[in-house]
Copies of this chain bind each other. A is one copy, B any other.
């Protein structure tokens, strides 16, 4: 077992369990894609970025398989799917007990993560008061850096 596999033991366990439960196969492509995903610096990746990361490891996997595997990982609860501003889907490892929300800079697009228990509690309360049981939520803050010009700006 490689180092990165050790760091993410929960992930491989979860994947194995999901595959077994649904009578799906362990394939090299799936392992390679997960390894590429783990090794990426960026936490928020889209299918194309992941495809490139896989290629950079010298592997040749079709984009369709990337999409199919990301869908599988989402169903298995291993990644979360988001969307932010543009149309494309963004995926992120769903590390157990590490829920967080996102603040996105409207100048440079940088994504900061934060946690706030108070807001989480209020969300539960709101859903209940409307007669619903909360399943998940999406909270994104769009904001501008207080220092001008934005120090993260690239363009």
Q: What is the distance, in angstroms, from A27's C-beta to the closest C-beta of chain B?
A: 28
Q: How large is the interface on A (under 10, 10 to 19, 20 to 34, 35 or more residues)?
A: 20 to 34
Q: Is the interface of A mostly helix, strand, loop or mixed?
A: strand
List CB contacts (< 8 Å) of A127-149 with chain B: 127-128, 130-147
What residues of chain B lie closer than 8 Å to A105, measured between beta carbons?
132
From the candidates B133, B136, B143, name the one contacting A133 in the complex (CB within 8 A). B143
CB of A8 within 8 A of chain B?
no
CB of A61 within 8 A of chain B?
no
Residues of A within 8 A of B (CB): 83, 87, 103, 105-106, 112, 114, 116, 118-119, 122-123, 126-128, 130-147
